[in-house]
Amino acid sequence: MSARAPRPVGTVTRGTTNPNRLRRMDRWIAATHGAELRRADDPLAVDLGYGAAPWTAVELLRGLRHAAPRARVVGVEIDPARVAAAAPYAREGLDFVHGGFEIPLPRRPLLIRAANVLRQYDEAEVAAVWRRLCARLAPATGDARGGLLVEGTCDEIGRRHVWVALGPEGPRTVTFATRLAALDRPSDLAERLPKALIHRNVPGEPVHAFLRDFDRAWAAAAPYASYGARQRWLRAVRDLTADWPVTDGPARWRQGEVTVRWGALAPGSWSWGPTRP
């Protein structure tokens, strides 16, 4: 009798999926991590918890191949029925497997994307999940920074999105991305903060102070609105750089993005803790 396969780690998500929902995250990944993928002998990426339909995995492959033509994607889902439903969409460079946070693949991936996966978990569980996933990333070697975990949340049609980028060593940055034409003020993005931050948007916490300062910079940049929402955003983000460690520049800001070092926004009680082997 063959041994029973280990039970996947995690719980089934709602599975809500819409085409192009993760386009902002995908563009950012291709722009910021594309060089690592191009250099790799086997540029493997994982779409973790892709949901009830395989659209996000299909789109991730398409986006990554613009940056790294040899990239391949494996969709990992904890619900076996979803894996079976996705099977007809498998093709060269795209596969679907049953699994969870353990990432049941023989090779460590250079990218794990986990979008809208941790919303249903408790905040206290996030660090352990992050550590588990980061331990599955390709390690840093030489000049290579190793794999990248991108974990975040967006609205149903991808207009507002916030994600954390982590490497094998832990959290690196937080990115806020939005469709500028639909933005009233930057703090509207608070409802899409990832689980590690969403309950920390209260006075006394760094992420609350950041969004407060962003709203103030946005208000001060109101005269630029006559030139369009993009110009107003550019001015507001430029003003933010005086007090916050913004890590990107105008090329990304024009996309309706801004990226800040994780350490500046981390909750006051945050602890990465020991790395899971």
Looking at 117-161, list the stretches that DSSP marks H as alpha helix, in order from N- to C-terminal side: 123-135
Q: What is the pLDDT of residue 272?
A: 78
- What is d(CA 117, CA 26) in angstroms, rounded to the nearest whole number? 16
Six token digits for residue 245: 């460690």
What CA–CA distance (Å, rounded) separates 25 from 35? Answer: 16
Look over the chain and give the mean of its residue pLDDT values, rounded to a whole number.
93
Question: 147: buried, middle or exposed (CB in 10 Å: 19+, 13-18, 0-12)?
Answer: buried
Q: Above 90 in pLDDT, residue 188?
A: yes
Asked whether the predicted pLDDT for residue 3 surpasses 70, the reply is no
CB distance 193 to 201 below 8 Å: yes
pLDDT tens for each residue of 198-252:
999 999 999 999 999 999 999 999 999 999 999 999 999 999 999 999 999 999 9
Fold for the domain defined by 23-265: Rossmann fold (3.40.50)
Answer yes or no: is pLDDT of 1 > 50: no
